[in-house]
Amino acid sequence: MTFYQKLRLAQRKNDTLLCVGLDPEPSRIPRSLRRRGNPALEFNRRIIEATEDLVCAYKLNISFYESSGARGWDTVHRTLASIPRGLVTIGDGKRGDIRNSSEKQAGLFCDDWKFSASTVNPWMGFDSVDPFIRRKDRGAFILAVTSNPGSRDFQHLKVRGRPLYEHVIAAAKKWNLRRNIGLVVGATRPADLRRVRSLVPEMPLLIPGIGAQKGDLAATVRFGCDPKGEMAVINVGRAILYASGGADFAEKARTAALAYRDRINAYRDKYFG
């Protein structure tokens, strides 16, 4: 099964484009879990149990785990083991280095941790991306237009009359021989999102910036989906994870995830019928 096929199946099975970002911040984990042996792992497990029927994917920002040393790496393994096999898992590490270094990075993300997909920085060119896209069942979301304030420092620079990010997209299209490449495009840039989708009508887009970053959800669905109303992976993290700081955090996370899922689907019905 190709990465594209797995993503479509997950979106259709649960009728959702929602991705939950599992980025546990120790200071925000409810007090009821802090005496556990591994509070972050228990927090993740409870969030997964509460939301697994509402999502197509879970995304783990690796920085939240690497900062905990060896226990964080173990938490990644055990969190992934808690996620139902039919769902997509995304290792958000924004890797990409010279070939021999990228080989090691891809070995960790694709073969050891076994993420369905990884986020990859294309700045160093094809040889830095290639190790992540060799297997048709493993995907890579290449950074194109990110949601952070500094994204315009480089991504919108004009190169031969076009913004730099469009050159990244053109390269990604050439590299997509196994149909396993997607792009990262922030929800805080709706005009850019619309432009990107016009350039890649069928490629999956990982779209952060909804929720705490206040991206436009209606525009995200309208401009982020493919012509079938699919292939947008809309990530929400803090607005779901921390919907409550109390013992009812998992219940409140489910309520928030359900609300996002239903709003997304309402816009899908509106724009794609």
Number of compact structural domains in the chain:
1
Q: What is the pLDDT of residue 10?
A: 98
Domain containing 96 equals 3-272
Q: What is the pLDDT of residue 39?
A: 95
Cα 150-64-80 angle, rounded to 5 deg: 120
| 31 vs 26: CA distance, rounded Å | 10
Kindly state the tokens that stand for 43. Answer: 């927090």
Q: What is the pLDDT of residue 78?
A: 97
Report the relative pairing of strands 205-207 and 181-185 from DSSP bridges.
Answer: parallel
Q: What is the pLDDT of residue 36?
A: 78
Cα 79 to its chain centre, rounded Å, is 16
| 244 vs 256: CA distance, rounded Å | 10
Q: What is the pLDDT of residue 174?
A: 98
- DSSP tag of 5: H
> Which residues of the chain fall below pLDDT 70?
none
Catalytic residue annotation: 94
| 100 vs 104: CA distance, rounded Å | 7
CATH number at residue 125: 3.20.20.70
